[in-house]
Each structure stands twice: as structure tokens, then as C-alpha cells.
Amino acid sequence: MHELDAIDLAILKALQQNGRMTNAELAEKVGLSASACSRRHDILERSGVISGYHARLSNKVLEYKMIAIVHISLSGQFAKTLSDFEAAVKRCPNVLVCYLMSGEYDYILRVAAKDLEDYERIHRDWLSALPHVVKINSSFALREIIDRPNVGL
């Protein structure tokens, strides 16, 4: 694991705000020469601290106006049961996030849908067809308050 110092954290913070800035812009922002900044940036990528670069899309503009929080219980927590479920849920294009949980439910999903009719389709064709599912509990987000793509640095 790469030991992060104040300059590394400044680089990460700047890239979280704008992952498309040039190396020259990044170097100026963090107070390094372009070559020193480029070396540090490469180390952060090679060490896995930076795991990728992504375009953040607007679900609203793409007309996915509904977010469902879905709690799922399985028939058991055997290794094969979990791996079967996880392989299948990864194929569902509307599942944005899936967490294996402790507590009452085995998994929590965040699912995007265009509207209630679209969610019904997702529930019928995808969620209900997932292997080993014995219970599905869906709640619908009324309003998004915050959705951070990254941790605060």
C-alpha cells in the first residue's frame, strides 16, 4: 500500500473534483512541477489508490426518475447460494449498487427505473428471477438529498 502524504491527498482531491484536468493543470493546483506530478499520479494509479475514471451520468436526464432501495432475503447463506445470487444480480442493468449485508436482510440494492411501470418490469423480469430469493422488500426514494461518488479527503 502506498503511504499517502499531503500532496497525494491534494492530487486525489483535485482529481475527484475534475478527473479530466490536464497534468499541467493538476501540477499547478497542487504546487508541483509537471514531471513530479505525473510521477505521483502514476504511482497512485499503479498502487490501486486510483481505481479508474468514470463519467458521472445524470439518471434524471436519462429519464431514470425513480430509485428503489430493495432488501433481499435468500434461502440461506451458503457459499454457492451467495455466488449464484451475486453472479445473477451483476447481469441486471438497472441495479446500480448491491451490498452483502449483516442483519435482517442478506442484500441491499439500489435500483434505477424510469417510472413505476418500469420498476414493475424490473421486479418481474429480473429481481423475482434471481436465484435463491425468498423475500423482496422495496422502498422508493422520494427525493435525493446527497449522493457522493467519493469519500471526503
Q: Judging by beta carbons within 10 Å of its beta carbon (0-12, 13-18, 19+), is residue 68 exposed, middle or buried?
A: buried
The answer to whether the CB of 101 falls within 8 A of the CB of 140 is no
Mean pLDDT of the chain: 95
The answer to whether the CB of 100 falls within 8 A of the CB of 71 is no
Of 99, 124, 98, give the one whose Cα is nearest residue 111. 98
Q: How confident is the model at residue 1 (pLDDT cuts 50, 70, 90)?
A: low
Structural domains of the chain, ranges and CATH numbers in brackets:
6-46 (1.10.10.10), 66-140 (3.30.70.920)
| pLDDT 10s digits, 88-104 | 999 999 999 999 999 99
Q: What pLDDT score does 152 carry?
A: 80
